[in-house]
Every structure is written in C-alpha cells, then in structure tokens.
Amino acid sequence: MKKHKICIVGGGLTGLISALVLSERGLDIDLILENNTSKNKDLRVTAISEKNMQFLKSTIKNINLKLFYPVKKINLFFEKNNQTKNFLNFDENKNLMYFFENRLTKDHLSKLLKKTKIKIQKKTIKSIDLAENKIFTNSSSKSYDLLVLCLGANSPIYQKISGNRKIQKNYKEHSITCSVNHQIKNIGAQQFFLKEGPLAILPYNINKFSVVWSIEDIYFIKNKKNITSYLKTKLTNLLKTNKISLGNIQSYPLKLSLKRNYYKKNAIILGDGLHVVHPLAGQGFNLILRDIEKLNELISNNLRLGLTIKDSNIPKDLSDSRKPENLLMGLGIDTTRKFFKSNKYLDPIKENILNNFSKSTLLKKITKRVANLGLS
C-alpha cells in the first residue's frame, strides 16, 4: 500500500515536535530544515502545562524527562505604591507546570529524529505550488499529500495561504530575558505585574531560573546600556536577596498576531505563524502543542478509517476545532495585559477586584483548569 506523503517545514520546536509525534503513524515524512544563518543561541525558557507534558510523554519515544523541570507552586503579585502584593497563589501536591530550555530541548529532539525513518533535509524553500502540493527548494521539487508549515511568524510563504486576514497589534514593548543563578529554596514560578511591565520568574533548575521582563520600548531604549544592572536591582528588591548572578540578556520585540486562515487546500500553518501572544501568561507554546495534538488526532482518525490524507477535511477540521480557542486565549491574554497596565480609571478599584478574585475558590479552579487544559 502506498504511504501518505507529508512534508513538515521548519527546524524550530514546532516542526521538530510535529515530526516526532507523526513519526509513529507509518507516514512517509520529509522534514525540511531551512538553512539558518543566525549565530545567536536561543536563551529562552518555555512553559508547558501538565496536560501538554503528558501529551509529549505519550507520543514521543525516549523523550528525556530530565529536561522538563516541574513546578508545584505559582504566585502572582501586583505592584501598588512601590510595594508588591500577592493576590493569587497555587501551592499543590502535584505538578502544575513544567519549564525547559529551548536550546537544549531542540538539540535533544533533533537527536531523537535521527533515530526515526523521517528524511531530514537542510534546504531553502523557494516557493510552494498549492495547486500541485509541491515544494520547490534551492535544489529540487517534490509533491506531497499534506504540507505542514512551521516557519515562524514572519515567513513570506504564509501570504499565499492566509493573506492579510489576521488580528495584529504592535505592543511597542520588548521582552528581555536571561538566566539567573540563585540559592533560593523552593522559589516556584512567579509573575509580577510591575509599573514598568510584567516580570515572570520561570525556574528550570533547582538553582536557576529564567526571568522574562516585558517593558515599553521607550524604557528599553532609554536604559538599554544599563539594562543588566536595572534588572538585577529589580530582582534583588522583589526577591529580597542580592545573592543572584545574571547571564547574558537577549531581547525580543512583542506583538499580538492571530491569523484567521489556518490553511489553503492541502497546506497547514502551525506554530508562531498562526498565533503570537504576549508572554505574560506563559500560554503561547501551550496553544501550539494543542494544535499539534489535534492534527495528530485528525490524521490518526483518517488512517484508522482507511481514508486518504490528500484533499481530506483535515485542514478544515483543524481550523474549525482550534481557531476559537486560539482567538479567545490570545485576546484574553491581551485583555489581561491591558488590565494590569496603569489606568487612571481602573487603578482605584483594581486592588478590590484582585482581592475578590483571590478569595473565590471557583475562580481559582477555573484559572487553574484553563491554564492546564485550555478552553476545551
């Protein structure tokens, strides 16, 4: 029986995980890793929920669980009159979230891929013919039954598929991130809503955490030369210790981008090409993993029923099932960002709103469930 041919394009976390998950389906898979000339190491740390961790464990053989650091405690703070107040906390006997280093995890996934039957190619994509389901690279061309494009947020190839139909906003903010060595016991994950912008602490080792601070471009440009010392001072005050040391800092511009079109014919977009959200809630990659999980489910159902993948309902079904949650979560995170920004009308009652929220057992349960499962 002729195997279904799938091409996955992209060497980031989305492309690598998609390839590994689908490698168990008996498909003929090509993974095209576009030539990347960037010499900058990805210093970011990513958060995933317990449910998504279970998905990775159940679908990727021999995944190294030691790369994923579990956290049982999460605390949220807001700043008022130069003081931080804890308005929400989760302290559980079970794991709430996991954090991993992007760079090390990508290296591990790449090694796992070499042990599969997937054909891995390093090429540059020149164009895509959607009518023929054909990929043109710098050295060849080939047709497939399904194209899965994981090319990041700014690929011009997406124009053929999604056009300009998207919700987009330039936050005029930069996210600065670095690793921090510390000696704080049981630090847990923490989110501070500060006047300069939200600051998150993401532990990924018993004595290391990643800090992610989202600040306005004006503040970032003004303090760029001294940003390390500003960040260290901020952390020293928040954590009430000066026994910390900061690694190299990387910065990224922040925006909101939610595409309306997920596919065209037999080509599907996955990853940052579909949705980019503000990092304050740590939900961006969770949305991506739920997209991958749904695609895997749809392909598995077709194969079980003996249906073809080419010209199937898979792209439409993926869009119909995942777009509502991705839009609502993206806009919900945007609303949360607006709520915590300084606002002369909202600031006088903000503390009362947060105090009432923290006292509600039901709202805490809903918050925890959404963070873990999404809106399903």
Partners of 192 in beta bridges: 77, 199
This prediction has a pTM of 0.95
User: How far apart (Å, rounded) are the C-alpha atoms in residues 235 and 180?
Assistant: 10
What is the pLDDT tens value at each position of the chain, 376 positions in all? 568 999 999 999 999 999 999 998 889 999 999 765 455 688 899 999 999 999 999 999 999 999 999 999 999 999 988 889 999 999 888 999 999 999 999 999 999 999 999 999 988 888 899 988 899 988 889 999 999 999 888 888 888 888 778 899 999 999 999 999 999 988 999 999 999 999 999 999 999 999 999 999 998 999 888 999 999 999 999 999 989 999 999 999 999 999 999 999 999 999 999 999 999 989 999 999 999 999 999 999 999 999 999 999 999 999 999 999 999 999 999 999 999 988 888 888 888 999 888 889 998 899 999 999 998 7
Using DSSP's 3-state secondary structure scheme, residue 176 falls into: strand
pLDDT of residue 157: 86
pLDDT of residue 347: 83
pLDDT of residue 160: 84
Say if CB 129 and CB 136 are below 8 A apart.
yes
pLDDT of residue 38: 55
pLDDT of residue 34: 74
- One of 3.50.50.60, 3.40.50.2000, 2.40.50.1070, 2.60.40.10 is the CATH number of 5-373, namely 3.50.50.60
pLDDT of residue 86: 92
Torsions phi, psi for 195 (to 5 deg): -65, -30
Task: Report the candidate in 262, 275, 290, 302 with the shortest Cα–Cα distance to residue 374.
Answer: 290
CA 283 to chain CA centroid, nearest Å: 6
Task: Report the candidate in 79, 32, 119 with the shortest Cα–Cα distance to residue 340.
Answer: 79
Task: Report the candidate in 337, 356, 359, 101 with the shortest Cα–Cα distance to residue 208.
Answer: 101
| CB neighbours of residue 45 within 10 Å | 26
What residue type is assigned to position 57 of the chain?
K
User: How far apart (Å, rounded) are the C-alpha atoms in residues 45 and 211?
Assistant: 9
pLDDT of residue 82: 83
User: How far apart (Å, rounded) are the C-alpha atoms in residues 4 and 314?
Assistant: 13
Token pair for 82: 């130069």
Token pair for 50: 């317990």
| Domain chopping of the chain, boundaries | 5-373
